[in-house]
Amino acid sequence: MRRIVLMIFASVLVFSLGAAAQDTAVSIAPSTPAGAAADPPAFKSSLEFPLRISASYEFAGFRNIDGLYFHQNGINTDFTGYLGHDIALEADLAAGFGWARYSSNANLETSTIFYGGGIRIGPQHPRFQPWFHVLLGGEHYRFSQTEASLGIDNGFAYQLGVGADIRVGPRAFWRVEGDYLGTDVFSHTQGNYQFGTGIAFAF
């Protein structure tokens, strides 16, 4: 009798293990039918891609540079490293070039360089990512001629601005931004502005 019970118990055990193995195989099988398109990859947060590099065209307007008002076209490069989902450290380098009307018969060639760093704050969303930043640094001015008090000067500068990164690819963004650029050069303080647009990549 004992032998029969043991044989029945062994048969039930073997059957149970076989059924469990079949259930496991079914559970790990892909749910997507063969030939069907796979789901798009999930949105990657800023912590998964914590670095962002951008290059943008920039238009800037400068006011009260020794009485001069002029505009420049240039390029802005930016490196951002996210510390969390909504906050990042930012380093910025921008160069601009243009002409300033000094007198009725004289135009001065102008060039500027801004360098600085600071903090960026903004929520991370799958498609549209608005942000605000504060940068502190310096501004280098150079005029091609040295009439009056103009020439070359360096001074303190800061940026207060807003912008947005709009996703156009898995790690690519279209960027738009506008900034107030404060400078202190040629013994005066200035309130300038700049607008830019370009492309950013996340890594």
Cα 160 to Cα 203: distance, rounded to the nearest angstrom: 25
What's 118's DSSP letter? E
Average pLDDT (73-101) is 94
User: In the chain, at which residue ranges do the beta strands (DSSP E only) sit?
Assistant: 51-65, 68-82, 87-103, 106-121, 128-143, 152-167, 172-185, 188-202
Sign of CA dihedral 75, 79, 85, 87: negative
Parse the chain into domains and list their residue ranges: 61-202
CATH fold of the domain at 61-202: Porin (2.40.160)
What is the full DSSP assignment across 72-117?
EEEEEEEEEEESSSSEEEEEEEEEEEEEEEEETTEEEEEEEEEEEE
Cα 42 to Cα 62: distance, rounded to the nearest angstrom: 44
Of 23-37, 40-54, 96-110, 154-168, least confident by mean pLDDT is: 23-37
Of 110-124, 137-151, 178-192, least confident by mean pLDDT is: 137-151
Average pLDDT (126-139) is 96
Task: Reply yes or no on whether the pLDDT at 144 is more than 90.
Answer: no
Q: So what's the pLDDT on residue 128? A: 93
- pTM confidence score: 0.73
Q: So what's the pLDDT on residue 31? A: 52
Average pLDDT (17-45) is 49
